C-alpha cells in the first residue's frame, strides 16, 4: 500500500484530532511498548500491548528473585502473589478483598467453578444453560461437565449478535442448576446487563457464572452489586498482562464455604506444607487454587492492573464508547458502501470495546490489512473482521487512518491476492 496516511483531507479527520487532543487518557499510550509507529494495533481484545513497566517486573523476578534469592523468594512475596494481585484486581470487577484469586487459565477456572456450582445444587436441578454467543471453550467445558455428571446442557439460540434475553428467560427454570454466559461476547461484542440477567437466574433459583474476559479492563463491572455468584476472566486482553498470563476467578464470599473445588490440589489445602495425604480444604478464596503458579507470568500482570486502576474503569469505558461510536459513524460512509455491515449492536450500552464488521471477503481482507495495510485486527469465522479498541492506547486518529486504509484496500482490490491464505491463529 503506497499511502499509509494520515489522511487529513478525508471526512472525520478533524474530529479525530480534536478527540485525541481532549482525551483525558491520552498520556497512557506512552506507558506501552510501541516499536512501530506506523502499525495500527486493533487486537488488544485478544492480546494487549506490553506495558513498559512489565520489563522491569520481569527483570526483577529473573535477575534478583530467581537468580539470587532462589527458593527463598517463596517466603518473600511469591507465595501470596496470586492473592495479593487478586485483591488488586478486585475493584476492577466490583469485588471485595478475598473474593478474587489469580489462578490457572480461564478454561480451567471455568471448569472448577461450573463443576463446583452444579455439584452444590439441589437434586432436580439437572440443567446448565448457556447461549450460542458464548466462547467455544466455555461451551465445550460446560458440555463436558454435563456429560460427566449426566446433566443437560441447553445452548440457547441467538440472532448471532444480541443476547437472546427472551429465550433465555424461558430456558432458565426450576430445573436449572447453573447459567454460564460471556458478559461481553467474543464475536459481536454484545454485553449483557449483568444485574438483570443475574436477577433472572436467581428468581429461578439458579447460580450464575460470568466469563468477564472481554469486559475486564474495558468497563466498570459490579459483581457484588449485581449479586453475581461466580466469575472467571483472563488478564491478557484489556488488562495487558502478557501472552498466556494467568486468569482470575471470583467466588462471592457467601458461597466460598459451601462450594468445593473439583481439583483438590495442595495449594488449596489448609496445611500445604504438612504434607498429609488427606485433602482438607483451606478457608476462603485460596481453596480454589490448585498448584504452583507460573511466577514470571503472574508477576508480569501487575503493571497492567496498575494502569487500569489508575485510569479507572469509568474513564476507560467513557473513551471506549467514544472510540466505538466514532468508528461506527465513520464506517457508515467509508465501509458500508464497500460491502461491510455492522455485526455488533448499534446501541453503545449493549456493546463492549470491540466492533465487528461482516464482509463476504472478511478473511482475505483481514490478511491484507495485516500484510499490506499495517493494521492488526482479527478474523472470526465465518465472515467477521473484529476491531478491538483499547482505550489506554488506541487513538481516534488511528481509527480514522485504519478506516481509510481499509477503504483503500477494498478499492485497490489488494485483498484478492490473500484469498487462499492460511493461518493457524486468526
Residues 107-166 that bind ligand PLP (CB under 6 A): 107, 135, 137-138
Q: Strand locations in 259-413, DSSP E?
A: 341-342, 354-358, 375-376, 378-380, 384-388
Residue from 17, 105, 224, 282 in contact with ligand PLP (CB under 6 A): 105
Residues 243-272 that bind ligand PLP (CB under 6 A): 247
**Closest distance of CB 139 from ligand PLP, Å:** 10
Residues 202-231 that bind ligand PLP (CB under 6 A): 211, 213-214
Length of the chain in residues, anyone? 426
Q: Strand locations in 252-371, DSSP E?
A: 341-342, 354-358
CB neighbours (10 Å) of residue 422?
8
Would you call 386 a catalytic residue per the annotation? yes
From residue 71 to residue 100, what is the string marking binding to ligand PLP with x (rule CB under 6 A)?
------------------------------
**Closest distance of CB 87 from ligand PLP, Å:** 21
- 211 vs 408 by CB, closer to ligand PLP: 211
**Looking only at Cα atoms, what is the longest distance across the chain?**
73
Sign of the Cα torsion 377, 24, 212, 197 reads negative
Given 7, 32, 186, 236, which residue is catalytic? 236
Residues 342-361 that bind ligand PLP (CB under 6 A): none
| Nearest residue to the partner ligand PLP, using Cβ | 107
DSSP state for residue 208 in the 8-state scheme? E
- 52 vs 423 by CB, closer to ligand PLP: 423
Site size toward ligand PLP (CB under 6 A) is 13
Would you call 135 a catalytic residue per the annotation? yes
Dihedral of CA atoms 356, 358, 359, 365 in degrees, nearest 10, equals 20
- 376 vs 410 by CB, closer to ligand PLP: 376
Candidate ranges 8-16, 105-113, 156-164, 199-207; the one touching ligand PLP (CB under 6 A): 105-113
Are β-strands 354-358 and 384-388 bridged in parallel, bridged antiparallel, or unpaired? antiparallel
Q: Determine the distance from the C-alpha atom of residue 171 to the mean position of all C-alpha atoms in its chain, rounded to a whole number.
A: 26
Measured CA angle at 143 (ends 198, 185), to 5 deg: 50
Q: Determine the distance from the C-alpha atom of residue 348 to the mean position of all C-alpha atoms in its chain, rounded to a whole number.
A: 18
Query: Which positions touch ligand PLP (CB under 6 A)?
Result: 105-107, 135, 137-138, 182, 186, 211, 213-214, 234, 247
Amino acid at each position: 500500500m503506497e499511502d499509509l496516511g494520515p489522511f487529513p483531507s478525508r471526512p472525520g479527520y478533524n474530529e479525530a484530532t480534536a478527540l485525541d487532543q481532549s482525551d483525558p487518557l491520552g498520556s497512557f499510550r506512552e506507558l506501552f511498548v510501541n516499536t512501530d509507529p506506523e502499525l495500527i494495533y486493533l487486537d488488544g481484545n485478544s492480546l494487549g500491548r506490553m506495558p513498559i513497566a512489565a520489563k522491569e517486573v520481569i527483570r526483577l523476578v529473573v535477575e534478583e528473585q530467581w537468580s539470587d534469592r532462589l527458593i527463598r523468594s517463596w517466603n518473600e512475596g511469591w507465595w501470596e502473589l496470586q492473592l495479593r494481585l487478586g485483591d488488586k484486581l478486585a475493584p476492577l470487577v466490583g469485588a471485595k478483598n478475598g473474593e478474587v484469586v489469580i489462578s490457572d487459565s480461564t478454561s480451567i477456572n471455568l471448569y472448577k467453578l461450573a463443576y463446583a456450582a452444579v455439584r452444590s445444587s439441589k437434586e432436580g436441578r439437572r440443567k446448565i444453560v448457556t447461549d450460542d454467543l458464548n466462547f467455544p471453550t466455555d461451551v465445550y467445558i460446560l458440555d463436558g461437565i454435563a456429560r460427566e455428571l449426566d446433566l443437560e446442557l441447553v445452548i440457547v439460540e441467538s440472532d448471532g449478535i444480541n443476547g437472546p434475553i427472551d429465550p433465555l428467560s424461558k430456558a432458565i427454570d426450576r430445573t436449572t442448576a447453573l447459567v454460564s454466559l460471556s458478559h461481553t461476547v467474543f464475536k459481536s461484542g454484545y454485553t449483557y446487563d449483568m444485574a438483570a440477567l443475574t436477577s433472572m437466574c436467581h428468581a429461578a433459583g439458579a447460580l450464575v457464572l460470568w466469563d468477564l474476559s472481554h469486559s475486564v479492563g474495558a468497563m466498570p463491572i459490579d459483581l457484588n452489586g449485581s449479586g453475581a455468584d461466580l466469575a472467571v476472566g483472563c488478564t491478557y486482553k484489556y488488562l495487558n498482562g502478557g501472552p498466556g498470563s494467568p486468569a482470575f476467578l471470583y467466588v462471592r464470599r457467601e458461597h466460598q464455604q459451601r462450594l468445593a473445588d473439583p481439583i483438590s490440589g495442595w495449594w488449596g489445602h489448609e496445611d500445604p506444607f504438612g504434607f498429609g495425604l488427606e485433602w482438607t480444604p483451606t478457608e476462603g478464596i485460596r481453596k480454589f487454587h490448585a498448584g504452583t503458579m507460573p511466577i514470571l507470568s503472574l508477576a508480569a500482570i501487575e503493571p497492567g492492573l496498575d494502569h487500569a486502576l489508575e485510569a479507572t474503569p469509568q474513564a476507560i469505558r467513557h473513551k471506549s464508547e467514544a472510540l466505538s461510536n466514532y468508528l461506527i459513524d465513520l464506517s457508515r460512509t467509508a465501509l458500508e458502501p464497500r460491502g461491510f455491515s455492522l455485526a455488533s449492536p448499534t446501541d453503545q450500552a449493549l456493546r463492549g470495546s470491540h466492533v465487528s464488521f461482516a464482509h463476504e471477503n472478511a478473511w482475505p481482507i483481514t490478511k491484507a490489512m495485516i500484510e499490506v495495510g499495517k493494521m492488526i485486527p482479527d478474523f472470526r469465522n465465518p465472515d467477521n473482521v473484529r476491531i478491538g479498541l483499547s482505550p489506554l492506547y488506541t487513538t481516534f486518529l488511528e481509527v480514522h487512518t485504519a478506516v481509510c486504509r481499509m477503504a483503500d484496500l477494498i478499492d485497490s482490490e489488494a485483498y484478492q491476492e490473500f484469498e487462499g491464505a492460511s493461518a493457524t491463529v486468526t
